[in-house]
Every structure is written in structure tokens, then in C-alpha cells.
Structure 1
Amino acid sequence: MNLFKKYKKFFQFVFLVVAGFIIFLAGANQYHMQWWPFGYGYFAHVDVDEIVPEPQQTKISSIFGTQDLQVRDLPFNDKYPTGPFEILAEKHFLFITKCGDVYFTKLNEAGDMEITKQGDRLSKGSLTETQGEADSRDDDLVYCKELAGVKDSLLADNILYVAYTTWDSENNGARLAVSAFELDVESAELTYRRDIFISHPAVKEPFLGHQVGGKLVLGADDKTMFLSVGDFSKPQGVQDPSTSLGKMIKINLRDFSSEVYASGLRSPSGGLYFDRESNELWETEHGPKGGDEINLIKPGKNYGWPLVSYGTLYEREGMGNYYGNKYNSHENFEKPAFVFIPSVGVGAIAKYPKTGKNEYWENGFFVAGMAANTLLYMRKEGERLLYAEPVLNDYRIRVLKIDKNGRFFMKTDNDQFLWTE
């Protein structure tokens, strides 16, 4: 007894060490951790798949409210500038890469994006196979070189319209084309049906593929579509009414006729949005050095490129002497609704719907600033845009969609997908 009392503190210490070691072993066994100090393999049944990292999250943070976002990497790689996506159903999506590869995907229970089927690359399929091997250009339907490639898609009534650059071998130049593909969601297949529109003339190399435009949107009804066509970095053709360059095209999906709706555009490659409540067509446009624009496109109006701009020339453009009369002006031409100086690399645009969730965001636009790696909230009053509030940073957003419930879906140029649960 005297011995125990004499060494009481020592026995307490030993007891604590033994108890701690037992707890360590129990915890390691329970949670499958490999911190055993004498090497791996002691807990042979460790399953690394069960060690799941915390889901990556971010949020849209505005002074008028916040919105939580999930962030995941896409299970495939796309090239810059990356291609579009469509929402097929709850947590099911269709992605098309810049070069025309097709991926049917879904968000699984863990919240990760997984491929359910990789479809065939966009082609005209059997419709061209009968023409003989010499004339078949299935693999070359999309002209995917440098900054050219698939520019946008639009899903309506199980028809997927795709805008892309294509090569005209006969005229040795590139064109912007829109083709219709029938979508079979159950079998996850796309079947080519017909060409809807092709720009003119064929533009010879060199040209800038990120200035071809190619954004699509439905108009006042599901049988009217708008297509933006850029200047291909050939501004001398924009004010020429005999070309498609620098024009907004209105396409009748009943008979596939088309007409020039507006003109004077430079690089309408950012975004296109038609507001059916106000019957307004909104377009985002890359300007020259400075002078990124958001335009309210009106029928018959001329937006001035290359004669006027609030921006100025890049050094590479100075040799052409095609533009330089009206810097920092839009005199005698339709003025933009908003101008970004310096440029933000203006991208996709979408209106926040009336959901009752956030009355302060309603009737306003969310706009991507790709060069600035920023998402902006822009307040709209009448035909004016009053300000641009940065609400999300560090993401170069290429595609932005907001559904009728106010949920956000975004794809970045870094192969990331952001969405609202």
C-alpha cells in the first residue's frame, strides 16, 4: 500500500499512456486512418475511397444577398475557349467541347460530375457517308484551330442547334455555321438534321477565331432565333451590307429564312439574352482596347464598328488604318447601354427571374467578366444599366445559365462546373 502511494503519480501516468494508446488504436481502426507509426499495412482493410474530402464550395456575395455554390471539376478536358452545355433534366447535362466532342453527364450522389456516355464527335454522319470517301468531311465538320471551334448551343423541342466555325474548302476560308441536331435523351444520341445558317463570305486565314461571334438565343417565341456574327478580325466587311460580318441575324425556324436584324458589331462572342417580359434583346461584345460593351439590340440599328468606339486600338490593329476617326465616341451611331473601361472580357449574360427569393436581384443581370475572373451583378432600370457589382471572383466563367427558380449553373475555362443545389 505504501508502495502504491509512493509511486501514485507514476502509476497514473502509465495508466494515461496505456489508455491513450488503446483509444488511438480504436480510432485508427474505426476511421481507417493510416497514422500507424511503424509503417502502412497494419490496418489492411483501409479503403482510400472512403476518405472523402470536404466538398468545395463558394458563394455569390452581393450587398443585396448571397447564394451558395457547389464547385466541381469536370470529368473531361476542354480547350480554350471552351464549349457550351445544356441542362437536360434535374442534375443531367450535355456538354460540347470546343472541338465538337459530346459528353452526356450527371451529378452523382456525392455531388461529383460523372460521364454517363461519351457521344460521337459532331458530324453529319450517314448523310455524308453516301457521298463517297473523297467528299466526306465528317471529322472536319467543326473547324477547330487556334481560337476557332464550337461557339454555342441552344436546345429547343429536342432539337439542339449548334453554332461553330467550319471550313469551306471550295472557297478556302472559314465560315460561321448553325446546324440542327435531333437529341434523343434516352439513348443519349445526337443526329444531324440540317444546316440552318452559314455566314458569308468565307474568310481566309489569318483571322481571329474568338471574334467570329456565334451566340444563340430564342426570341419572342420558340420559332424565332437570333445569331450574333462577329467581324472575324476583318473589320472592313462590317459596314458592307452584302456580308454577314458584324451583324445580328434573325432566323425563322419555321422556314429557316434569315435576315439582318442589326449591324456594326465587332466581337459579339460573350453572350446573348432575350427578355420575353420586355421583348428586349441584350448582347455583350468584346471591344478593342477598352470599350467592352453591353448593347440593347434594336431592329435596323447600327452600333458603329469599326467607325466609332469608346475603346481604342490594340497595337496589332494600328497598321490597318481602318479605325481611328472617332475614339471615345459613338457619334451618329447607336450607343451602348454600358461600357467597361478597362475591358473586363465581357462574357455570358443572364437575367435573374422573379422567384420571390431575392427581390433586389430581380430585373437585374448577372454578367461574366472573363478577363477579370469575375461575375458581376448589374442593375437594370428601363433601358439603362446603372452599375456593375463584383459578386464572385477567381472564376473565368464561359457559360452562365439561371433557371426559372433562380438556380445558377456555370462552366469555366478551367474545366470547372459551379451550380446551386
Structure 2
Amino acid sequence: QALGESSTSTSNEDHAFKSATNNILDSDPIATIAKALDTPAAKASLAAATAAVEPPKALNDNSDDTASVKPLTNDTTDTSQTDQGKTNDGGKTPTPVNPAEPVDPDKPVNPITPVNPDNPDNPVNPVDSVNPVNPVNPVQPDQNTAPVLNVPEDQTVSLSHSGTFDKLNGVTASDKEDGDLTKAIKVTGNVDLSKEGTYTLTYSVTDSAGQTTSAKRVITVANDLPVISADDQTIEVGTSFDPLTNVTASDVQDGDLTRDVKVTGNVDTTKLGTYQLTYSVSDHDGGQKTKTINITVYAKDASFSGLDALTVQQGSTPDLRKGVSVSDPYSATPSDFTVTTCDTKTPGQRSVTYSYVDKWGHVTTQDRVINVIAEKPVFKGLQDQTIKQGDHFDPMTGVSATSTNGPVTISYVGEVNTQKAG
């Protein structure tokens, strides 16, 4: 009526309102309003607005079927139901009352989209000054926190014929609402320590709200290989040797396996050299271990005496064996030794090597220092003389000298007075 009929009011404000509505609406205002309201979104918004003001009456309610609702106005003041029919401008322009519609729970609540009168299919942006009717948001319940499950990392354990695996060792669970839930943990899967293999355990825990947390863990059961204790050895030639002496073997599952150790290879203690021995052992679960070591057969060195440093004249041929002897730990009558030659042609320090070979073929060597010094010149004609007083005397007459190192120069000191006896 406010939009389609003339009002008896003649105020300027009333006239302006009527002019504005007549410009917006077409010749059939009732049809325009009906068209704008005949959409799912508009119906849902009207239903939500009606439900927000006053819930619909139950179907079996025999009371008055007329719904009383708050009018939808541009005024932000929350008016009561007794204010229906009143206006925001002092009663000059009546405010239309929206009819109540039942709420359809299967339809979403959408706000009313304003209609463009020039093109009803294209909605226009709502005016900022108009407060649209907000749909009622359902109350969100407090969010429940899922339990926290702490499971150790994947693990490799030793094969065992008698032990058991504790699947819950180190596993804990907690919940924000329920606290400690470790006792509520459930495990699926099994670990057989007596058989090698890979086993998967699945852990799960559920809180009082029904939320479940799960985690997986892989357990690998492995057979430990035996351990062989054997080290490289050096033994003296001619002595006895047992390849299993000081050799041991053990296993985590089977314990001491020393008696099961087998050895391949041979050591000849009458011959010097290096020999290889290979030890092997198997446990009762099929695990096998091998280890190879070296056995060195050696002989003690002979010892020399009389090898002190020797000084010889340049050009001489010294006897380098003189005063030298050898002692053999394996023979009371050692064989002869050898010595390298020494060059004495030029002065300087030389080195010669003495060598001895025992009955095992072992060679003992030792070096000796030889100092070669230059040869002294040799004088001739230096015999004592007797001369008569007054005779002539030349100190160099009949005197000469020779040297292997080349020419020599002779000098003298002293004086002879032939005029005076003496």
C-alpha cells in the first residue's frame, strides 16, 4: 500500500519517498515485489530472518496461526513486536511487515540480494547504509584435540632363542582433554625373536571423544655373526707352532664357539717366510665368519765383534778381516763371513759391509767405518855428518823427499858455523 497507493499525507518528505519508489518500480509494483521475493535465496533469507525474530510454531500447535514478527527496517534500533506498523519518520511512512515463513533445514541460509529494477536478472551491490539481515550461524562446539602417540624409531634387535620383545617399551600416549592414555594403547602385530625377519607393529590410541591416532614401527630381527679373535704372529725359526693357540670365537646367541673353529693353511717353521692362515666358524643359526692372519717365521741375527773404526794410509791395502769374529745363535762353529773391499787411493772416510749367512739362510749384515789418510813424504840424505873447521857446508846437499801425492817442498831451520868447532 505504501508503494502502490496515494497517501493522504502532503508533507515534502512523503512526496519525496513516493517519487523515489515510483521511479524504481515499474507500472505493476506488486508483480515486481513478488518477482524479487520468488527466489530460493530470498525465501531462505526471509525464513532465517523470521526464525531469528521468533521461531515458527510447532505444527501441532493449536494456537493462533498468525505469526508476529519484527518489521524489517533500515533503523538499527531493535524494536519489539509491539512496535509493528510504526515508522522511522514519526509515522509518516508506514513500514511493511514481512510475513513469517517456516525454516527449511535442507536449504542454506543466504542473504537477500537487491534487485536491479532495470534488469532483474542482474543483482546490484547493496547500499552500505542499509543493514542487511544476517543469517543465524550455528554454534560451533569446542574442537577436540586428537591424542598424541609417541613411538620409538625403527629398531634392529638380535636374534634370541629364549627372549621376548616388549612392544610397549618406550611407547607413550597423551591427550589434551584426557591426560595420560599410555595404558589405553593398543598394538597389532608381533615380533618373533627366534626367527630372522622384518616385523611391523601398528600402535593406536583413542580418546574419550572417539578420536584415534595411530603409528607404525618396523622391528628387524637379525642374527649376529660370530666373532673370531686371532692376530698376526711372528715366531722364531725351528720352534713349534700350534695355529689354534690363543684363537677364540664367540657368538651372541650361541656363546663360546672356540671348539668349532676351523683353520686352513700351513706354517713351515723350518723355513723363513710369511704364511697365511684362514679361520672360519659357523653359529647354530647359519651365520658364518672368516678371518685371515699372517704368520711370520724369523731367525735371530748373528753378531760381529772387532768392527771398530779403522784408520789406514792412503794407497795401502789393509787387512779388514784381522781381529773380526762372528757369533751364530744357531751354530757353535759359525761359517765364514764376507767383507766388501775398501778403496784407499784417495783420502777420506769409507764404509765396508760384513755379511754372515746362517744355516736357515738368514743373512746378518753390519757396516764398519774406514778412515783413509794421506801418506807422509819420505826424506833421503838426512844422515849425520862431520866436517872440518873452515870447510864449506850446504844444508841441502844430498837431501831429497818423495810423496805419492805429487811434488814436495823441503824447508829447514837451524844454522852451522863452520868457523867454529862445535
TM superposition score category, shorter chain reference = under 0.3
Task: Give the structure, 1 or 2, with the largest relative contact order (CA under 8 Å, sep 6 or more).
Answer: 1
Give the TM-score normalised by the residue count of structure 2: 0.13
Give the TM-score normalised by the residue count of structure 1: 0.13
